[in-house]
Each structure stands twice: as C-alpha cells, then as structure tokens.
Structure 1
Amino acid sequence: MPLSARVAAIFAAYFFGLGLFLPFFPLVLASSGLSAGEIGTLLAVPMVVRLAANPLIGAIVDRFGTPGRAIALLSIIAAIAFSGFFVAKSFLASALLLVAISIAWSPLMPLGDALAARVEREGKGDYGRMRLWGSVSFIVANVIGGGLIGEWTVTVVVGGIVAGLFAAGLAALTVSLPRVEVDENESVSIASPDLALAEVVDDEAPPAIAAGTRRRGLGELFREGTFVTPGFLLVILAAGCAQGSHAAYYAFSALHWSQAGLSGTAVGVFWGVGVITEIALFAASARVRAVLGINGLLAIGIAGAVLRWLLFPLVEAPLSIVLLQLLHGLSFGATHLGAVAFVARMAPPQWAGAAQGINSMIIGAVTALASAVAGYLYALGAMPAFAAMSVLAAAGGVFLLAGLVVARADASSR
C-alpha cells in the first residue's frame, strides 16, 4: 500500500472518532444532567490542554521519535482514557477525564498534518487528497451517529470514538518514516525570517533554508532569527480566530437543531453536508491554492465564517440549513488548508511537528475562550452566541491584514 494511502488511513480512523465527538459529545454530557454553562466549560478543556500539550509533544516527537510510532502510542493512550466516559457522570469526573484524554488526543491532528505535509514535501502524496479521507470518514460518523443517538447515545458516541482511536493507532504502526536528523553542530533555520514570511504570504518561492542554529529545545523556536516572528504569529492568529469561531457550532448546533424539532438523523445529515464542501476543496486543494494562494485561502475562509455565523441563528428551514452548511468548506476548509500550508512552508523540516503544534496551540487558545464564552451566551439564546462568533471571525481578518503589513514592513526595512 502506498505511503500516502497509509497516512490517509490514519486520517480516516482519527476523524471517525472526531465526527462523533464534535456534534454528539455535548449530548453525552447533557445526558449526565450537566448545564449549558458546564458543557461549554468542559468543551473548552481540550483547547486549554492543547496550549501546552501540542507544541511540547510535537517538539518531543521531532527530536526523539518517529512520527508513525508516536501517533500510534498517543492514539492508544487516548482510546483507553476515553473509555472512562462509559461511567463518568459528574462535572469533576468529566473534567479530569478530558484533561487526561486531551494530553494524548490533542496532539494527534498537528502531528498528522506534519506527517502528511512531509509526505507531500518528499513528493510521495498530496496533502489535500490524504486529508480528504478524514473528512469522508467524518461524514460517515455524522450519519451513523445521527441515526443511532437517543437511547444509545453514550454507547454509540463513546464506543465509536474509542474504536476510531484504536484504528488510528493500528494504521499509524504501518507508517515508517525516520525522524529528521540534524547535526548537533550545524542545523537549519530560516534565513531572514521576516523577508521569508513576506515571500510566503505573497506565494512566491518557499523561504530559503540556511545553516545557523542548533536545535536544543522548544524554547529555541522563540529566539530571534527563527521563523516564529510577530508577522508569523499574527497570520496564525488570524486563522485561529476563523477556526475558533466554530466553537458555538461545535458545542451547540446539535442542541439548537434538536430544540427546533429536527431529528438526530437530520443533525447528522446537516453536519455531513457541510463536510462535503470541505472534501471537494481538499480534493482540488493544489489547483485552488495555485489560483488563490495561501493568503487568498485564509481571506476567503475568514469571510465565509463571518457570513455563516451571522446567518446561523436566523435559518430554521431544513433546506436553508443545508444551503448555509455549504459555507463550511470556506469557514473551516479554506482556513485549515491555508494555515497548514503556511506553517509547512515557513518551518524548517526538523521543526515540522512543533510548528504545527504552535498553529494548533493558537487555535486552541482562541477556541477555548470562545467555547467558554459561547456556553454562557447560548444560555441567553442562539443569537448572542453566534453573533459573537461572527465578530471573532471578523477579528481574524484584522489580524491577517496586520500580519501582512508587519511582514512586509519588516522585510522592506532589511
């Protein structure tokens, strides 16, 4: 089996569990008698944990591990820990479980993205075409979960997530790639990082890589002269605002639609329709990026998020919901592709996992705050919660513009 197909299998298994977690795990928590505020707070826990876990574990994997084995180990640990939700009922028990789970589960996505980006960089596959199988699996989970939730909510959601994580671990064991070796006396870092950033956001040649800095630890990423510059962080923050604006959707879309009288099957179909547009974008990612560029992908994704959340609480008819869900390809798909491609082109190979971890960390910080806020705003109604998400996405547009201005100003001063 080609290497790209094995990486695609990891995405498919991982996203099957995620396709149950995002729309239906709030229903598991609600079945335990937890309030909307408690649910919003609990859903913020994984985002908070990944602030530290993702870049730290990514750096450890970069330095000491091979990516396939690391993903396998983390997947199996997360599966075992998630089994605890078969019996957990209280807020405290759920919070403690989510902390333990998130340490292993949260780094899986950035590690998978880094692995797929490396496979693409080595000419052995296309990132979008590998990643789209995760989206296909996500839809399958949406439909299966939507048809079976109700009396079997906990069994289906928790059991499916555990099965998906175990399957991801087994698939990862088939991927054998050595870690990137770096000479202890001479490694690589980006030369003239501000100029490199300006070139990347303009979609010119990838940034030059030159000798200069030994890789010692995670702190090395934040010293002067690396790719982690103010302009870099502003662009990633822009993507984080667009991605974080999905917090109310992840936490309360199933509850919102259920309270409107729509069935669990309908909820699963609505989620699936949204991801179909994501799949289409991933399948054509190389061509779309050639036309729009990384900067264009981020901009159109942010615009899609602003419009989507403004309209979300106003749309109630099933056909209108389906049409609105088509914006998911922009609000999530375009910003995800843009952010992953941006980080992959900015970071030197030996920091691929940690760099994607920083990307995930920033998204996690924004999403954690947005999840907690959404929980309390949703108690006032869907309109305040989703209006706040639209404002958050719009802030991403401001940060994107600021990042480009800072990068070009720094580049011109050199």
Structure 2
Amino acid sequence: MSTASRLRLFYFAYYGAVGANLPYFAPYLRGLGFTGEQIGSVQMIGPLLAAPVALAWGAVADRLGAPGRALALAAGGSLAAAAFLPWARTPLALGAVVLAQALGERAVVPLADAVTLEWVRRGAGAAYTRIRLFGSLGFIALAQGLGLLLALRGDRPGDRLVPVAVALCVAGYALAARRLDVPGSAGPRPRARDALALLGDRRLLALLLACAVHWGACAPFHLLFGVFVRDLRLSASVTGLAMAAGVGAEVLALLAYPRLARRFGARALFAVAFAGTALRWALLARVEGAAALVLLQLLHALTFGLFWGASMQAMAALVPGPLRATGQALYAAVVFGAGNALGYQLAGWGYDRFGGVGPLFGWAAVAELLPLALSAALASPGRPRS
C-alpha cells in the first residue's frame, strides 16, 4: 500500500472513531446512569493529558527524526487500552481505560499531521486538506451508520455497540500506522531550547489562543449534541443524519480550501469561520425540529473545514520542518488539551446547572466573539518552512 493510501486509511479510521465517539458516547454513558458532571469528568481526562502526552511524543519524534515510527507506537498503545472499552461500565473503570488510552491516543493526531505535512512538503503532489478529508469521510460513515444501527436496535440505553465500534476503528488506524515510514526533515536534530523558542513567536501564540477558545466553545456540541437530540425527543438516526450533513459540508470546504486560500488569504478565512460558528451556535440554541437541526449542521463547513485548513496552513508556515512534530504537538496541547478540557468541564457543569444543552449553545456563541476579534491579528501564512 502506498504512503498516500495509508495516510488516507489512517485518517478514515481515526475520524471514524471520532464519529462513533463524539455523537454517541455521552448518550451511552447517560444510559449507564452517569450524571452530566461524571460524563464531563470522564471525557475531560483525554484533553487534560493532551499537553504532556503530545509534547513528549512530539519531542521524541523530532529528536529521532522519525515521526512515522513514533506514530505507530502511539497508535499501538491506544489500541491496547481501547480493547477494554466495551467492558468498562462504571465511572472508575471507564476513567482508568480512558486514561490508559490517552497516553498514546492524544499524540496520534499531531504525529499524523506532522507526517502528512512533511510528506506534502516534499512534493508528494497532494494538498494536506485533500488527504485529511478522508478523515471526514470516515466520520460520516461511522456517525451515520452507527446512528442507523442504534435506531434499529431500539435506541437502548447503554448499548455496548458504541464502545465496540470505537475500539474497532482504533484497531483500523493502528494497523494503517504500522508502516508510515515518512522521515522527518533533514538537518540537525532540534534541541529543547529550539522547541521553547516557538513560544517566543507572537503570531504563533495569537494563533494558538484563537484556536483554543474556538475549540473550547465547540465543547457543548462535541460533548452533548447526542444528549441534545435525545432531549428534543428525536431518534439517534437524526443524530447520525445531522453529523453526516455537517461533515459532508466539511468535506466540501476541505476540497475547496486550497483555492479559497489562494484567493482570500488565511486571515479572512479565519474571520469567516469564527463569525459563521457564532451564528451557528446562536441559532442552534433555539432550534426545535429535526429539519432545522440538520440544516444548521451545514455550517460545520466553517466551524471545522475552513478553520482546520487555515490552522494547518498557518502551522506549516510558522513552524520550521525539524520541529514539525513538536509544533503540531504544541497545537494539540493548547487547543485539544487546554481548550477542550476547560470546555468539556464547563459544558458538563452547565448541563447540570441549566438542565439542558440549549443555553450552553447561547454562551458558546458569545465565546466565539473572542477568536473573531483575534482573527485580525492572525497573519496570512506563506509557504511551509523547511
């Protein structure tokens, strides 16, 4: 299998796991009797570990000049823990499994992105977004397919099919990562002070802050969208259809991104992404019917597709090649670690306090105004740094 095919398969399986986890795992835990605070606490474990885990794996990958090898090891560790997911059905047991899985899984995306960005930089003939969109296709396949299966099984509380689907997807991306042997950038291996120097770049810090707040504001959707659908007395098949519609729009945005970036520049695309997301949350806070809920998910093209393309283009331009894995790990630590952990905890607490998910979307719309304001300070990136 070619490197391109392995990368596509990896992203398909990894984001397939996300498609099984994001819309259905919180309702699965609710069906096991978990409270909103317990759901938020369990789901917060991964984001809390994202910073040290991703940075440690990224530093090792850059120091060895072997991000592909590090990715295979991290994915294998994630699989070893994920195999126990279907049998962990108490907060303590599930927390232990999630903790063990996070020690590898939280480094998987930054390492995979480092491998892909380096492969693209070497003239592989494909844009990063054209490879990454296979992750979106995997998300659609699992979110839609699992939703239909859960509905056919009667939308049972605590259906074990959810963790089984997640574990199978983890097995898929672990296998795909086994022979991704793309080497790191040529030249002297970076030292610790070279990595610390990244934090002196104000453009990079502005980018990380804007992205972290944006991702934190997405937490009510990521954590509780499936619960939101059930609270509206709608079927799990509606959750799957809404996710499929959103990620379908995301795929189109990723396909169009190279052309949009050449025409408008990253600063303008960031602003559109943040403004469109604020509108999405404000409208979702008031939605009631299935049709309106599904249509609103088309704005996911901005929330993730446009946002992610601009973020990765900016990271490729701001971080030098020998520090690619460390840079991606730093992004994951700040955005998926700090931003996600705070967002998840506040979302779980807010659900118990307000008695529903709708008010949380209203607060998320307000939070999106900060990255929108910061977008004016985000420089349009140039060519990737080698």
Fold equivalence (TM over 0.5): yes
Amino acid of the residue matched to residue 252 of structure 1? Answer: L
Q: 1:319 aligns with which of 280, 291, 296?
A: 291
Partner of 2:384: none
Q: 1:171 aligns with which of 176, 200, 205?
A: 176
Structure 1 contact 245–305 (Cα < 8 Å) conserved: no
Identity of aligned residues (%): 27
Bigger shift: 1-10 or 124-133?
1-10
Bigger shift: 168-177 or 144-153?
144-153
Partner of 1:34: 34
The offset of 1:65, in angstroms, is 5.5
The offset of 1:396, in angstroms, is 1.2
The offset of 1:345, in angstroms, is 0.9
Amino acid of the residue matched to residue 169 of structure 1? Answer: A
The question of 1:337 aligning with 2:312 is answered no
Structure 2 contact 62–184 (Cα < 8 Å) conserved: yes
Structure 2 contact 28–157 (Cα < 8 Å) conserved: no
The offset of 1:38, in angstroms, is 1.2
Partner of 1:128: 129
Partner of 1:388: 363
Distance 2:127 2:178 in 1: 21
Q: How many residues align?
A: 373
The question of 1:160 aligning with 2:165 is answered yes
Partner of 2:376: 401
The question of 1:13 aligning with 2:13 is answered yes
Partner of 2:146: 145
Distance 2:270 2:114 in 1: 19
Amino acid of the residue matched to residue 113 of structure 2? Answer: D
Distance 1:45 1:162 in 2: 18
The offset of 1:153, in angstroms, is 5.4
Distance 2:269 2:141 in 1: 26
Amino acid of the residue matched to residue 354 of structure 1? Answer: T
1:56-91 deviations in Å (ceiling 9; x for gaps): 211111212623332222222112212222222222
The question of 1:220 aligning with 2:198 is answered no
Structure 1 contact 227–346 (Cα < 8 Å) conserved: no
Unaligned runs of 5+ in 1: 185-214, 408-414
Q: Classify the secondary structure of the residue corresponding to 2:84.
A: helix
Amino acid of the residue matched to residue 222 of structure 1? Answer: L
The offset of 1:249, in angstroms, is 0.5
Structure 1 contact 5–130 (Cα < 8 Å) conserved: no
Partner of 1:206: none
Q: Classify the secondary structure of the residue corresponding to 1:320.
A: helix
Distance 2:106 2:60 in 1: 15
Distance 2:364 2:43 in 1: 16
Structure 1 contact 302–397 (Cα < 8 Å) conserved: yes
1:256-293 deviations in Å (ceiling 9; x for gaps): 11121211111101011000011001112211111222
RMSD of aligned C-alpha atoms?
2.0
The equivalences for 1:14-413 within 5 A come to 14-64=14-64, 66-124=66-124, 125-149=126-150, 150-151=155-156, 154-183=159-188, 215-217=190-192, 219-223=193-197, 226=198, 228-363=200-335, 364-379=337-352, 380=354, 381-402=356-377
Bigger shift: 149-158 or 282-291?
149-158
Distance 2:158 2:33 in 1: 14
Q: Classify the secondary structure of the residue corresponding to 2:273.
A: helix
Amino acid of the residue matched to residue 220 of structure 1? Answer: D
Structure 1 contact 231–403 (Cα < 8 Å) conserved: yes
Bigger shift: 168-177 or 325-334?
168-177
Q: Classify the secondary structure of the residue corresponding to 1:123.
A: coil
Distance 1:89 1:227 in 2: 41
Structure 1 contact 230–403 (Cα < 8 Å) conserved: no
TM-score (norm 2): 0.91
CA 1:397–1:341: 2 relative to 1, 3 Å: same
TM-score (norm 1): 0.85
Unaligned runs of 5+ in 2: 382-386
Bigger shift: 260-269 or 375-384?
375-384
CA 1:179–1:271: 2 relative to 1, 3 Å: same
The offset of 1:127, in angstroms, is 0.7
Bigger shift: 226-235 or 246-255?
226-235
The offset of 1:228, in angstroms, is 4.2
Distance 1:375 1:183 in 2: 46
Structure 1 contact 143–265 (Cα < 8 Å) conserved: yes
The offset of 1:45, in angstroms, is 1.5
Amino acid of the residue matched to residue 351 of structure 2? Answer: Y
